[in-house]
Amino acid sequence: MAQEKGSATYYSPKLQGRHTTDGSKYHPDSLTCAHKSYPLGTMLVVRNPKNNQSVVVKVTDRGPFHKKLMIDLSYSAAKTLDIIRQGVATVEVSELNILPQVISILPVPQSYLRVEQMYFATNLYNKIFGEDSPKKEVVAQKK
C-alpha cells in the first residue's frame, strides 16, 4: 500500500447535518473523511503512529483547505485514533486495496456503505494485519 504521512484534524460538531461533496449528510458517528485528491467513495486506512490505532474511513468530501493539513476526519474516526484532545495530529494514510474483494458480497455499491459496515471493514483490516481492534462499539448512523 502506498502511504502518505501528514497532519489530520476533524470536523467541527457544528457541521452535523450539512451536505458533503458526495451529497450525503455529515454525522459525527460516521467513519468518513475529506481528502483533496482521492476519488469520492475511496476507502482509506488512517493510522495514528503514536498509538498504532487505525480506522477505515470513506472519502465523502473535499478538503481540508489549509495547506498544512492532509485530511479532515469525522469526529468518530478522530476519537478512534485518539486525536480529539490534540486537535491536529500526524497520521499515515493509505488506500485500502483489499476492501473491494471483501465488500463485493455486500448488496450495496462501495460508495454507499453504512457506518456499521465501515466498522466491520476496520475490524477486518485489524484482524488481517494483526493490529488491535478499535475499542469503539458499533454505533448505528442516525438518519
**pTM above threshold 0.85:** no
Looking at the structure of the chain, the number of domains it has is 1
Whether 74 is in a domain gets the answer yes
- The answer to whether residue 54 is domain-embedded is yes
Cα–Cα nearest to 45, from 58, 34, 63: 58
| 70: its cell numbers | 492532509
Q: Quick check: is 135 in a domain?
A: no
Sequential pLDDT tens for the chain (143 residues): 468 999 999 998 888 989 999 898 998 988 899 999 999 988 899 999 999 998 989 999 999 989 899 999 999 999 999 999 999 999 999 998 654 444 544 444 444 555 556 666 667 766 776 654 344 333 333 33
Query: CATH number of the domain that 98 lies in?
Result: 2.40.40.10
Question: Would 108 be classed as within a structural domain?
Answer: yes
- Dihedral sign from CA coordinates of 18, 21, 23, 28: negative
User: Are 71 and 64 within 8 A, CB to CB?
Assistant: yes
Supply the range of the domain harboring residue 59: 3-129
With a CB cutoff of 8 Å and minimum separation 6, the contacts of 44 are 33, 35, 38, 56, 57, 58, 59, 71, 93, 94, 95, 96
